[in-house]
Structures are given as C-alpha cells and as structure tokens.
Structure 1
Amino acid sequence: MSALSTGSNSSKTEAGEQLLYVGLNQDHSCFATGTSAGFRIYNCEPYRETFRRTFTKGGGIGYVEMLFRCNLLALVGGGMNPRYPPNKVMIWDDHQNKCIGELSFRQKVIAVKLRRDRVVVALLARIYVYRFSDLALLDQFNTLNNPKGLLALSPDSSSTVLACPSITRGHVRVELYDARKSTLIAAHEAELGAIALNLSGTKLATSSEKGTLVRIWDTNTGNMLKELRRGTERAEIQSIAFNSESSFVACSSDKGTVHIFSLSENPNDNNDSGKGGGEKSPGTSQFSPNANQNYPQGMAAAAPDRSPVGNNKKSGLSFVNKFLPNGVGKYFESEWSYAQIKGIEAPSICAFGQEPFTITIIGKDGSFIRANFKDGGEAERLSYNRFLKGPDEELKLEMGGDGGGSAGGGNVGGGMEGGAEPDADEKVDFHNVQQKK
C-alpha cells in the first residue's frame, strides 16, 4: 500500500489548494499529489517538484496513479469541486494534455493500480481488471467491503500478481495470472488493515486493523514466512513497503513511528527466503510529458541493497515459550523492528530509497523525510523538505542531479477488441488514439 487519501482536514498549498491525495509510483522513485486544483509530480532522489498541472475550472483530483515516469496517469476526481466524477477513472495523457480513455462505474472509485499491461480498479466490494491497451475487461470478482481501497499489483513485467481482500474477514485473495492460479491466505482473524506485494509478487505483507503484527507470506504456497511485531498497542497501519530486493519491509502507523524489519536470516546474507515463527495464523529520470514511449521491462532501474544487514530484535524472554500455552508464548517469538524513525507528526506513507539503507517518509502535512537505517535502532535523518508550503514559508529543495535512472511508458492503442464484456454496471469509453512512433 503506497497511497494516502488525505480527507477534508488536509494541508493547503501556498495558493490555497487543498491536498487530497499522496501516492508513490511503482518503483518509488517519485510521487504524485492530487489537490483541489490539479496534480503535481515530485522526484524523490534528489527531492524536487518536476511537474504540475493546474486546472482552472473544477480541478479537484482525489486520486493520481502514475505509470512509472511516463506521460500516462489514471485520475479520479475529488474534493469539493472535482475535475471528474468520483465514479470514473480517467486515463490522462499529459503529452496530449487530455484524457484518452475512461472507465465509468455506478459506485465511487476507491483505488486504482496500473502496470504496463493492466488497469485495476477497486470499488467498495468489487475488483475490475482491464487490459491497458484497449481497456477491455479481463477479470472481475467480489471482495469484502473495502473502504480503504486495499489493493496491490506487482509492477514487474515478468509476473502479474494481484492481491486484495477476499470475501472472508481477514483473508487475502491472491491472483497469480501467469500461473493461472488463485491463492486464498487466511492472514488475520481481524479485518485487514494494510497489504503490500514485493516487486515480483512472490511475497505479500499484511496487517490487521489491530496493527500490532505484520505477517509475510509466500504468494504461491500461501505459507507464512515471518511474523513481525510493530508493537503491543493497537495502531492503524497507514502503509507497508518492501525494498527492491525484498530484504527489508517497512510500515508506518498512527503512532508516529516508521518501523523497518529485516527479512534476512543472517547478518551477511540478503537471502529473504527464510521462515519465521509467529502466533497461530487463522488458516529514475524526472517526469516529463515527452518521456520515452517504451514501457519499462522489469525493474532494472531500482537500486538493490547489496550490503550486509542486521537481524531483527527478539524478546529476551523468548526462552519462556516452551513453558507457556501456545497462544501466549508466541508473543515472545515475534520479531521486533531492526530500525525505527520516530516523531512523524502526520499520517504518512513510506518507501525505500534508491540508495542502500535509505527510506523516505511522505506526510499528509506536506513533509518529505529521508533517513538512513544501516546501523539499526533510531535511523539517522538525512533531510527534511516540504512539498506544500504556507504563505510565509519557503519551499526547501535538495539540489543537484536529475534523479537518476529512467523508465518510460507508452501510449495506449485505440479501439475495443476482444476480452470479456463489461457487466451491466459498467460503461467503457476508449477514445481512438493512434500509437506514437
């Protein structure tokens, strides 16, 4: 989960715009904000605003989903004066400065995820999967009520994996489309609070509405690999993120702390395939409208963490497990975080940086924090910026470089062809667009 809908009490920009949405792109190299007047794109490393689009009339954008760094985005209207109806997903081509396609629904759109060949839309209790090239409907299924829009889609071109709530409380449905297989994971007894897939879709992280545990699952087998303890008090998990090599996972919560967990078994081993115990389970260049028109192949641009890592902490009382009932003893067996960033003042999303052992925290209050967690414990803050500023506040930027790496996207072709037909609730309107050479 890498997005944050900010609600009606969010921060405002220097021009009085209200912040409605913050979300990261697929490789976490940049992020987008939706405001009451349009949307903006920011580079993460180095931090700076790279692009903005302001609509003069009815400009509220409540959801922005980027496609890596290309000129194509999915937009959903929001705020008091929405640019588009909140029940429509608009495919926006910023090269042409217009919408080139749309998906209409009878209900409000809760979440949208993109990859180079798919558009996935979450409504309150239903998921729709479309082919990107012509917006033909490929799949649809029901979920439990999903007001948070919990939805994860692997961005790696070598595998197509989707995860979302199932129709059973605390369960996750995982669709492995390449293997033509579905996996049902009984992740938690309580309602789901957050979910996230790693880049390749081989691992799933989940938390419940209690927010005390994060569990790591094998998406192919449904087996639990690790159980990680955020804390002992109830909390709302606001985001979960894997790093590019799946050697770390991080989560942010309303307790004002970001926890970082190591998924490696040995201090000098980045292999993240080990299994851990837990309580009984119930079952790179800046954005440009003239970006290269080729879709990214895989995730080669993401910088891996190839350095030795430490282990998570375990309770010093873990030896008492054998003397306690199963439900009690498992508490001492859970792994605690390897590193933390404390004092986060607003609801936030987190993501790992392209530099090894760095993490980014993006807040609802307009804050942008980078920290280094290599030594474990309290992470070292490297920089603090604000992407929203008040009338008496200057925007601080880290200058130097152009963000590094590049990932392009392509324009989508025109015309409806093949695929499953939408049901009676859906309307598809895809404008005829010529493929750019």
Structure 2
Amino acid sequence: MAVEEDEDGSEKAVVQYVNFNQDAGCFAYSTSVGFRIYSCDPLKQTLRRDLDGGVGIVEMVFRSNILGLVGAAARNKVIIWDDDQSRCIGELFFRSEVRAVRLRRDAVVAVLEHKVHVHSLSDLKPLHEVETFDNPRGVCAISPASTMFVLACPGTMSGGEVRLELYSLGKTLFVQAHESPLACLALSQDGRLLATASVKGTIVRIFDTNDGTKLHEFRRGAERAEIFSLALSVNCHWLAVSSDKCTVHVFNLVRSKFEHKPRRRLPRLSASSIFSLAANSSMVQGVLPSYLKSDWSFAQFRLPADSRAIVAFGAAKNTVIIICGDGSYYRCAYDADRGGDMVQKEFAKFT
C-alpha cells in the first residue's frame, strides 16, 4: 500500500487511481484511506469518504449515489457502494485480481487478466462472460448511452485484436487494430466510434463499431510512448490523447475525414536515425509513407516532466480537462480553427 506522511508524521492520503465519470463532469480518485469525488468545472470537492483499508479502484455511475469499488488489499472483489446509505449493497467475487471496473446505469463490468465479466447492476446477475488475450492493464471500454450498449476489450487471437460486443444489436465483431498489444481503448458516448492505441503508442486509430471499418489514423509521435488515456468528444469531432511524453494531443476527426490536407509535420529524427534510414532505402520506402499517411495532432498542451495524466473534454466548448496523478488539475482551451498550443485557463491542486 502506498502511504506518505506529512511533516508532522501523520498519514496523508495518496492517489491510487483516478478516472472521470461517464460525462466527464466529475472525476473520482481512490486513496490509501478512502475515495474523493470532485466536480470538474468549477473544480470543487463534492464527496469524501474514508474507508478502512483504503480503496484501490473507484468508478462512478454518472453523478448518482452508486459507485463501484475495489479495495486496496482485497483486489478480487467488486463492491457496489450506495453513498446515500453509506454502505455496501452488493459484492461480486472473482478467483483472480480485478484489473478494472466499468459501470453503466444497467451494468457493471469487471475486467480480469484473461476474462471480462458483465453483470446486471440492479441485481448483480451475470449477463455475459468474455475470454480475452492477456490483459494485465485491464484494458476495456463501454458506451454509457442507454440506447446503445457496446463493450470493447482485447480479443483472443492476438494482443492487438479488439473484441466488440454490440449487445443492443446482438452482434460480435473482431477488429485487428494493432500489431502490438492494446494499451488503451475508448468509445464515444453513443458507442458508434472506437479509439485504440497499442503499447507502442505511436499510432491511434478510430474505427466504426458497426462494421469494424477503420475511419482515421493519427500519429501521436515518432518515439514509443505509454498511452494513459483516450477521449472522444460528445460530438465525435475531436480526440484527446495523454501519454508519458507529458504532452496532451487533440486530433481533429472532421478535418482528417473530409479534408485530407497534405500538410504534415514530419517526426524529429536523430542523426543516427537519419543515417540508419539512409543506409537502408527499403526502410525509407516503408517508413516515410506511413508518416505521410497519418494525421498529426491539431492542438497540444505540455505538462511538467513526469506527469501521469488522464484527459477528457470539458463542458465549455473547445476545452479539455487534465487530471494528473500528483493532484494537479488543468483546464485548457484550444483554437478550433487554427489549432497549435492550447491555452491554460485554470490550474489547481486537488489533493
């Protein structure tokens, strides 16, 4: 258990896990002593609960009184917490560690390393069980809209395959999204679009969930990176990406799809990389076209070094909310016509 101390020696809450709710109007984070919930705009603490043993994972159901919790120590159990009653109202037990939890108004999804379990939220009855490829990161996404229930998780054939369960349509699809294992998935609010990234972290792809068609391909950068989060805007015009390169990127889906402008920013290559490419003409032919075919980010925001951040689109037009593991909060705006560097509108520390 991660525990820090204040200068006087008393225990201080340490952020264990943080995530936005389904409409990104709030975020919740778990600590070594409980969990906290904040509204995003304006930034304000709305709920604080201290629980014995601490909390490893906390997930919200929009802004309701129902939450999904995984303890800091007992990691094979999902607790359904009713905050109006300040008590557990249901539990799901599994034989292995719960890597992630996802919630809808009608379902709770528990992600294990090799399985995904879907249960009814009202009575916790099992609805579906999915076998997956190795999934130690707990990669999984579900659509929050009541009209369309889509689940995206790793497939079984390879680490880069996505399995799409379109429960509302009674259909299952498999999409070979990447060659490398999956690192992050995100679905649009209505479940129509799927965003994917692999552990390589250089390319982000967008797919149509109805038939698995690839709609867009975006290049985050030339160097390998760990993708922390993907977020699609409500109108599906924008995609936001955060990674360990300490830069939040915003990509324009509309411009990419309809304009296909030829202007691209080529990657910064070191002298050794340039020499290596020049020495192998077949490699040049294979690499450069892939860079030219991929769209680069439309807007960017630079974070301090060593920032681990998740990102979502704010309620105000053309804004993003960035939440960092060190307790930093940023609200930034981007120019929807010109792009470029985002402008920081607000900064605060929430821990």
Q: Give the secondary-structure state (helix, strand or coil) at the position aligned to 2:75.
A: coil
Matched, 1:70 2:59: no
**Structure 2 CA distance for partners of 1:54 and 1:35, relative to 1, 3 Å:** same
Give unmatched runs, 5+ long, in structure 2: 268-283
Please state how far the C-alpha of 1:59 moved relative to its aligned partner. 3.2
Which residues of structure 1 form unaligned runs of 5+? 1-6, 267-273, 278-310, 318-323, 389-437
Sequence identity percentage: 44
Distance 1:217 1:334 in 2: 15
- Which residue is 1:348 aligned to? 309
- Residue number among 209, 224, 232 corresponding to 1:234 in the alignment: 224
Secondary structure of 2:124 counterpart: coil
Correspondent of 1:262 among 248, 252, 255:
252
Establish whether residue 16 from structure 1 lines up as the match of residue 12 from structure 2.
yes
Q: If each structure's helix is expressed as a fraction of its own residues, which one has the higher value?
A: 2
Q: How do 1:253-332 and structure 2 match up within 5 A? A: 253-265=243-255, 274=257, 314-315=264-265, 325=285, 328-332=288-292
Q: Secondary structure at the match of 1:109?
A: coil
Q: Which amino acid aligns with 1:361?
A: I
Q: Distance in 1 between matches of 2:166 and 2:231?
A: 20
Query: Which residue pairs with 1:120 in the alignment?
Result: 109
The 2-side partners of 1:312 and 1:94 are apart by 53
Query: Shift of the alpha carbon at 1:112?
Result: 0.6
Give the conservation status (yes or no) of the 8 Å contact 2:17–2:58. yes
The one-character-per-residue Cα deviations of 1:182-207 (angstroms, maximum 9, x if unpaired) are 11000011111111111011111111
1:367 is aligned to: 328
Counting only pairs closer than 5 Å after superposition, residues 17-36 of structure 1 correspond to structure 2 as 17-36=13-32
Deviation at 1:314, TM superposition (A): 2.1
SS in 2 for 1:314: coil
Q: Is the 8 A contact 2:2 2:32 kept in 1?
A: no
TM-score w.r.t. length of structure 1: 0.72
The 3-state SS of whatever aligns with 1:214 is strand
Q: Quick one: distance in 2 between partners of 1:200 and 1:242?
A: 11
Q: In 2 relative to 1, CA 313–32 (structure 1 residues): closer, same or farther, beyond 3 Å?
A: farther
Q: Is the 8 A contact 2:4 2:12 kept in 1?
A: no
The question of whether the paired residues in 2 share the 8 Å contact of 1:313 and 1:337 is answered with no
Q: Compute the TM-score of the two structures, normalised by the length of structure 2.
A: 0.89
Give 1:407's aligned residue. none
- Structure 2 CA distance for partners of 1:316 and 1:255, relative to 1, 3 Å: closer
**Could you say if the C-alpha distance between residues 104 and 243 of structure 1 is closer, same or farther in structure 2, counting changes exceeding 3 Å?**
same
Cα distance in 1 for residues equivalent to 2:93 and 2:214: 38
2:5 and 2:56 mapped to 1: Cα distance? 14
Q: Deviations over 1:3-24 (max 9, x none)?
A: xxxx848898995122111111
Counterpart code for 1:124:
E
Q: How many matched pairs?
A: 329
Q: 1:210 to 1:326 in 2, by over 3 A?
A: same
The answer (yes or no) to whether the contact 2:246–2:303 under 8 Å persists in 1 is yes
CA distance in 1, matches of 2:141, 2:154: 10
Structure 2 residue aligned with 1:290: none
The residue that corresponds to 2:294 in the other structure is: 334
Amino acid at match of 1:90: I
Structure ranking higher on relative contact order (CA contacts 8 Å, 6+ apart): 1
Structure richer in strand, relative to its length: 2
How many Å apart are 1:332 and its aligned residue?
1.2
